[in-house]
Each structure stands twice: as C-alpha cells, then as structure tokens.
C-alpha cells in the first residue's frame, strides 16, 4: 500500500491528511474518488433524494460582498412570491413525488415576514397532509424565530458558514453588526437547539482562500457534527464588490475540481451525513452535479420556482435553469441520475442518517 492509500483508509484524519487529499492529482485523485464512492455506497447507497427548491424572495437586508441579490445591488428587480405561487410549487413537488421542498430566500427579519413564513409552513403541511418534508434556508434568525418555524412544521435548516476562517469571513462581508462571524456561529447553535437537522457549508475557490482554509473548513464541519452540508464553487457576479478580486481567482475548472475533491474528502470524513450536489456546480460544468453525486453527494435541489422569477434570483453568473420551467428540470434529473447508476428516492424525506443516529435526535 502506498503512502496515500494508507491516508485515505485511516479512521481519523488530521489537517495534514485533509490537505493531502485536497491536493491530489492523477492516480492519487482517482484513489480518493474510489474511496469516497466506496464509503458512499456502503453508508448511503445509490439513492439520491430531492428537495424541490422554491426561491421565495430575493429581497435581502444584507450586503455580502459576493452575492448578486445583496441589498445594494440596484440592478436586481426585487420580488416575493405570492402565497398562491408557493402553494403551486408545493403541489408541484407533491404531484411529482419529490418527498421534500426547500424554501430559500434573501434574509429578512421583520415580524411581518416571520409570521408570513410561519403561516406558509402550516399551510404547506396541511395541503400535503404532512407528506412533504421542509428544509429552510432563510438566513440568520433569533432562537425564537427558529423555534416558531420548527413548530410550524419545517425540520431541516441550512445556513452556510461560507468560510470557517474568521479573517476570510471579514474579507467577504461588510464589517458591521449584521455580518458578524460570532453571530453566525451562534445562529448555527440555535438552529440545532430548537431541533432542526442542521446543515451548513462553505464556498470553494474564494479570493484569498487557501487549501489550508478548506482543510480547516472540513474540520469545522466535523467538529460541529452537522447533519447536512451544501457547499459549492464560488462564482463571480459582476454587480458585486468581490468582482474586483477576480484576478485572484483560480480558473472555474479548478474551482469545480476542488469542489468535487472537497465533497469526496467530506464523504470520507463524515460518512453518514447528507451532502448536496450544489446547483453552482452545474454553472461551471453541465455534468458538475453528476460528478458530485458520483463521488459523494446524495441530495439534489431541483429548482421549482416559477420560471418568470428565476432570472431574478441570480446569486452568481451563469446560474443554470434560469429560463426553464420545472417540468424540464424534472424530466432531465431522472434521466441524468439513471445515466450514472443512481436512483431517485421518490416520496421519501431522505433525512440525514447522521441525525437519525445521533444524540441530538430526541
Ligand atoms: N457564488 C457561489 N455561491 C454563492 N452564494 C451566494 N453568492 C454566491 C456566489 N457568488 C451562495 C452562498 C449562500 C447561498 C444561498 O448561495 O453560499 O449561502
Ligand atoms: Fe443576502 Fe448575503 S446578501 S444574505
């Protein structure tokens, strides 16, 4: 057994091991992927679960320096879906046997909004007879808000840490009360405290980000003992301040490659968690999500937002499926998964096994 093969077959991994895994090329990279596939086959199997993604609103009170829907971007036309639109999406997911939906939006924390989400959640639970699982991705909220939404029927929550490095975090966010690293960590803890399955993740290939940072990100995910991870390549957006740093970026292909290595390494590190094949992968490579699924991911989030709003939820450039309707997505996703020997777990919630087995599950 060569030295690298010994590393990937260990039970525990230190930072240096993770760095070696992220730096692999050629035969060693193939070995990394072989191992991550074996781990996935054993702990997860070949079933992929869907979360029909509803991009509820692009109104946002925050100003993340990388994000196309940041408050200061005046080139974005703001929208919020009507209740009727949201129910149509939920029914679409139900009729197409998706099992779960995910509601994502820019961040808002006003009382009117909080109550609106609560009533939408209750209504979706009712109209689906409790059949649809609900993931939320609605940013940083108070403990009370998280509790209210959990009690209303959502049971998984995604809030990316974006980077676990405090210094890098402050380079990609404005430095003010609304964009505070410690508050974000506290939000993650609160999400768990109220009973949600906890998901987080990072962007990969950010300006100033190093391989050491990414290895630390993996150790952070492990230390937080998260149930779900969604991570994807950073993709520049011309209407954002971070665009000025484009000269520092790796090529898109390199960012994609690194993302797949992050997913494979994470699968080896955290064997039974849910890992999303992020949509941003597909913005770089038409087969990006398939590669993610092949080497470790087990969740896809097909966009089911009504077609006319999709162009407006533009977090980054070349976002895929922005001019399609969800029916197209639905047909293509089944065929795409069959092609790589995976099957879709229709009508199942596909909860994180890590959560089901964990101490946090009452
Ligand atoms: N490139 C890639 N991902 C982005 N996100 C926001 N802006 C970008 C970008 N330019 C991601 C963030 C956020 C998620 C909803 O979208 O990680 O948490
Ligand atoms: Fe909306 Fe970052 S810009 S949360």
Whole-number pLDDT of residue 192: 98
How many whole angstroms from 62 Cα to the centroid of ligand 2?
5
Residue 5 counted as domain residue: no
Please indicate whether residue 64, judged by its CB atom, sits closer than 6 Å to ligand 2. yes
How many whole angstroms from 314 Cα to the centroid of ligand 1?
10
Of the candidates 190, 211, 192, which has an alpha carbon nearest to the alpha carbon of residue 202?
Answer: 211
**DSSP SS3 for 329:** helix
Residue 309 counted as domain residue: yes
When the pLDDT of each residue in the chain is averaged and rounded to a whole number, the result is: 95
Residue 71 counted as domain residue: yes
Q: What is the pLDDT of residues 192-248, one digit of tens each?
A: 999 999 999 999 999 999 999 999 999 999 999 999 999 999 999 999 999 999 999
Residue 201 counted as domain residue: yes
CATH of residue 40's domain is 3.20.20.70
CA dist., res. 277 & res. 290, Å (int): 8
Q: What percent of the chain has pLDDT over 90?
A: 87
Examine the pLDDT at 93 and tell me if it is beyond 90. Answer: yes
Q: Which ligand is nearest to the CA of 58?
A: 2
Residue 328 counted as domain residue: yes
Q: Which residues contact 77 (CB under 8 A, 6 or more apart)?
A: 312
Residue 128 counted as domain residue: yes
Please indicate whether residue 229, judged by its CB atom, sits closer than 6 Å to ligand 2. no
Residue 361 counted as domain residue: no
Of the candidates 21, 17, 49, which has an alpha carbon nearest to the alpha carbon of residue 35?
Answer: 21
How many whole angstroms from 205 Cα to the centroid of ligand 1?
12
Q: What is the pLDDT of residues 265-303, one digit of tens each?
A: 999 999 999 999 998 999 999 999 999 999 999 999 999
**Count of domains forming the chain:** 1
> Which ligand 2 atom is the nearest neighbour of the CA of 67?
3
Examine the pLDDT at 311 and tell me if it is beyond 90. Answer: no
Whole-number pLDDT of residue 315: 87
The whole-model pTM stands at: 0.96
CA dist., res. 164 & res. 167, Å (int): 9
Examine the pLDDT at 326 and tell me if it is beyond 90. Answer: no
> Which ligand 2 atom is the nearest neighbour of the CA of 69?
3
Examine the pLDDT at 328 and tell me if it is beyond 60. Answer: no
Whole-number pLDDT of residue 325: 60
Radius of gyration of the chain from its Cα atoms, rounded to whole angstroms: 19
Domain residues for 317?
Answer: 12-356
Residue 308 counted as domain residue: yes
Residue with CA at minimum distance from ligand 1 atom 16:
315
Pocket of ligand 1 (CB under 6 A): 66-67, 160, 162, 203, 232, 234-235, 237, 280, 315-316
Q: What is the pLDDT of residues 296-310, one digit of tens each?
A: 999 999 999 887 888
């Amino acid at each position: 057994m060569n030295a690298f093969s010994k590393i990937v077959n260990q039970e525990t991994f230190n930072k240096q091991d993770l760095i070696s895994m992220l730096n692999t090329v050629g035969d060693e990279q193939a070995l990394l992927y072989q191992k991550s596939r074996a781990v996935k086959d054993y702990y997860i199997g070949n079933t992929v679960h869907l979360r029909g993604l509803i991009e509820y609103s692009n109104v946002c009170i925050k100003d993340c320096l990388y994000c196309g829907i940041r408050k200061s971007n005046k080139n974005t036309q703001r929208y919020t879906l009507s209740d009727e639109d949201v129910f149509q999406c939920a029914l679409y997911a139900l009729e197409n046997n998706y099992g779960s939906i995910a509601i994502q939006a820019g961040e808002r924390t006003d009382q009117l909004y909080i109550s609106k989400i609560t009533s939408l959640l209750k209504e979706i639970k009712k109209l689906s007879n409790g059949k649809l699982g609900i993931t939320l991705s609605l940013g940083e909220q108070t403990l009370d808000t998280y509790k209210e939404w959990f009690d209303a029927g959502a049971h998984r929550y995604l809030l990316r840490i974006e980077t676990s490095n405090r210094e890098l975090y402050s380079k990609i966010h404005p430095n003010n009360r609304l964009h505070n690293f410690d508050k974000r960590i506290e939000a993650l803890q609160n999400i768990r405290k109220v009973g949600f399955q906890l998901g987080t993740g990072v962007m990969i290939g950010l300006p100033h980000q190093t391989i050491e940072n990414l290895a630390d990100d993996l150790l952070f995910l492990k230390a937080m003992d998260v149930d779900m991870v969604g991570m994807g390549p950073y993709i520049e957006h011309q209407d954002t301040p971070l665009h000025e740093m484009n000269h520092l970026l790796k090529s898109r292909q390199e960012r994609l490659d690194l993302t797949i290595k992050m997913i494979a390494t994470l699968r080896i590190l955290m064997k039974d968690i849910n890992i999303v094949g992020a949509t941003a992968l597909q913005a770089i490579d038409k087969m990006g999500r398939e590669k993610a699924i092949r080497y470790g991911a087990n969740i896809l989030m097909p966009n089911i937002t009504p077609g006319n709003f999709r162009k407006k939820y533009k977090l980054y450039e070349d976002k895929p499926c922005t001019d399609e309707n969800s029916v197209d997505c639905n047909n293509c996703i089944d065929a795409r998964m069959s092609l790589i020997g995976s099957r879709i777990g229709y009508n199942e919630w596909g909860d994180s096994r890590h959560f089901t087995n964990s101490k946090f599950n009452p």
